[in-house]
Amino acid sequence: MGARLASPHGQSGGKAAFEAEALSSVDSLYRTALRLTRVPADAEDLVQDTYLKAFRAADSFEPGTNLRAWLFTILHNTARNRIRDRARDTVTVDSETVEQAAEQPSFSNGGPVPTPETLLLNEALTPELQSAVDHLPDAFRQVVWLRDVEEFSYAEIAAMLGIPVGTVMSRISRGRRLLFERLKHLQPAHV
Amino acid sequence: MSDCQSIDLLVTPFIDGELPAQDRERVERHLRVCAPCHSRVDAERTVRTLMKGRQSLFKGESAPVALRVKCAGHCGMAAAGHALKSRWRRVMPLAAAAVIVLGAGGVLLYQATSRSARVMAAELAADHVTCFAIHASRIEQSADAVEAAMMATFGWTVDLPEGGDDELELIGSRPCLYGGGRIAHIMYRHRGEPMSLFMLPKASYDREMFETLGHECAIWSSGDRTCVLVSREAPAEVARLAAQVQPTFH
């Protein structure tokens, strides 16, 4: 998915290509930063910091690896450090409780489950989906976002968030199930 | 561990198509005989399909132009070290100054036809003065950084070649405030004097040159783009520079 680049070192053309390629991720970094901070001004700060660090640390980028994933890793590390600096704990807040809640098997009672098609045909879902995603606890929103919107691999997400791949998968699973719980009441009845 | 519990760990990679064939068959076998697991998989798959189907909705949010410019301004950090100083003040040629390829994407919002050349030139001259007063001392972009900024801000591939006129020094680039940030503004000094090259994504002006707000403005079109050169230098010198700067558009 991400572009595989030549080394940022050496000739200036390589460096320019590296910088141009890095800057082409500004939209997706900003969107993701907005999900992390929820405040546009903070998201902009975070993205700026990310580029500042990325360009300074260009030498540590491993040519041939995914530049976009590398930038996202810097973004998440920067966000975590800020949260630590401010002595806040928004990332893992109440995740245990939510993980337990997500285990409630209300969706596995053998009842009818709407097909993806019936969900997708329902245009009214769009604002509901956005709202449901925004209301997911941070730990689940991050992984579902990185997987289903930004389309990173489990391993890339694990590296970004500093958590094991198994945890990435279980959080994606629980995040999606939570979304389903929030959205299923919107289904046309008896489909 | 029950069958359902062991299957549960595989459900997400199963849905994402990330399971090896052997595990995939195991999940499929189990789903055929276990309604609760089957419905759980359906629920998760439904949400995944929904999220992917709405990707364009989520991806509709773009970074503000000001943020793009600030990020592009961080370019050049990769060149830290002894070469830094010489890179910043790289002397740029005007001959064949810019080869511009307009990239795909809907950036052609600027309606050049709605303004007269003199109104436009006056506004660009004002922008030229403002940008030099506020930003020139703070912008120190390399040619690479300008190229990256053009790509990030306008979606343009701009090639600023090396070598040439020693009297021309590149300062940097900005998205011009005039025209809703859709005009590229490249700032130079020619023999130490401020000089601006503006590039507009539309060709609606005749070639002409006139004085406005104490500046000489040369306007010309090339391909379907318009270039405007703004400087306080003498008309003959501005005409010479304008002839020299002719960008090639593809």
Beta-carbon neighbour count of residue A110 at 10 Å?
Answer: 10
The CATH number covering residue A61 comes to 1.10.1740.10
B82 located within any domain: no
**pLDDT for the residue B178:** 59
- CB distance A58 to A18 below 8 Å: yes
A1 located within any domain: no
Distance CA B232, CA B195 (A): 8
How large is the average pLDDT for residues B90-98?
Answer: 28
Q: Give the three-class secondary structure for B99.
A: strand
Taking each helix axis as running N to C, give the angle between helix B3-15 and helix B21-33, from 0 to 180 degrees, rounded to the nearest 10.
120
**pLDDT for the residue A111:** 44
B81 located within any domain: no
**pLDDT for the residue B205:** 76
Least confident of B13-22, B179-188, B212-221: B179-188
Complete edge-to-edge strand list for the sheet that includes strand B225-231: B168-176, B183-190, B193-200, B225-231, B215-222, B208-212
Report the domain count for chain A.
2
Same domain? A100 vs A182: yes
B50–A116 C-beta distance less than 8 A:
yes
Give which of A20, A58, A105 is closest to B101, Cα–Cα.
A20
A183–B59 C-beta distance less than 8 A:
no
B74 located within any domain: no
Give the count of alpha carbons within 13 A of A92, CB side only. 9
Q: Which residues of B touch A56 (CB under 8 A)?
A: 77-78, 80
Same domain? B135 vs B242: yes
Distance CA B66, CA B182 (A): 12
A15–B58 C-beta distance less than 8 A:
no
Q: Predicted confidence band at B21 (pLDDT cuts at 50, 70, 90)? A: very high
B189 located within any domain: yes
A3 located within any domain: no
- Ranges of beta strands (E only) in B11-151 are 99-102
Q: Which residues of B touch A123 (CB under 8 A)?
A: none
Same domain? B10 vs B54: yes
How large is the average pLDDT for residues A28-56?
Answer: 93
CA of B129 to nearest chain A CA: how many angstroms apart? 27
The CATH number covering residue B151 comes to 3.30.200.100
Stronger pLDDT, B114 or B177, i.e. the higher one:
B177
Task: Answer whether B104 touches A (CB < 8 Å).
Answer: no
Phi and psi, residue A8, nearest 5°: -75, -10
A75 located within any domain: yes
Give which of A115, A140, A82 is closest to B12, Cα–Cα.
A140
Give which of A82, A64, A79, A65 is closest to A30, Cα–Cα.
A79
Q: For strand B248-249 and strand B99-102, is the pairing parallel, antiparallel, or unpaired?
A: parallel
How large is the average pLDDT for residues A4-19?
Answer: 56
A123 located within any domain: yes
Residue type, B194: P
Distance CA B168, CA B97 (A): 11
CA of A156 to nearest chain B CA: how many angstroms apart? 14
**pLDDT for the residue B17:** 94
Domain range for A163 is 95-186
- CB distance A165 to A155 below 8 Å: yes
Q: Predicted confidence band at A45 (pLDDT cuts at 50, 70, 90)? A: very high
**pLDDT for the residue A127:** 81
Stronger pLDDT, B198 or A93, i.e. the higher one:
B198
How large is the average pLDDT for residues B158-163?
Answer: 54
Domain range for B26 is 3-58
How large is the average pLDDT for residues B88-95?
Answer: 29
**pLDDT for the residue A130:** 87
Name the most confidently modeled range: A20-24, A178-182, B172-176. Answer: A178-182
CA of A110 to nearest chain B CA: how many angstroms apart? 5
Which tokens in the block code for residue A81? Answer: 């450090």
State yes or no: ipTM above 0.85: no
Q: Which residues of B touch A158 (CB under 8 A)?
A: none
Mutation site, B67, B84, B99, interface A, largest A CB count within 10 A: B67
CA angle A171, A176, A177 (to 5 degrees): 100
CA of B185 to nearest chain A CA: how many angstroms apart? 18
A4 located within any domain: no
Q: Which residues of B touch A23 (CB under 8 A)?
A: 68, 71-72, 75, 148-149, 151-152
How large is the average pLDDT for residues B82-90?
Answer: 30
B183 located within any domain: yes
Q: Which of B35, B45, B58 sits opposite A116 (nearest CB)?
A: B45
Same domain? B204 vs B113: yes
**pLDDT for the residue B5:** 85
Same domain? B98 vs B141: yes
Using the 3D structure, point to which of A55, A85, A115 is the last residue of a domain: A85
A80 located within any domain: yes
Same domain? B102 vs B225: yes
Q: Predicted confidence band at B246 (pLDDT cuts at 50, 70, 90)? A: low
- Nearest chain B residue to A182 by CA: give it: B47
How large is the average pLDDT for residues B106-125?
Answer: 58
pLDDT digits over A71-123, tens only? 999 999 999 888 877 765 444 444 454 455 444 444 344 444 555 555 554 55
A115 located within any domain: yes
Q: Which of B45, B58, B75 sits opposite A31 (nearest CB)?
A: B58
Task: Answer whether B9 touches A (CB < 8 Å).
Answer: yes
The CATH number covering residue A102 comes to 1.10.10.10
How large is the average pLDDT for residues B29-55?
Answer: 91
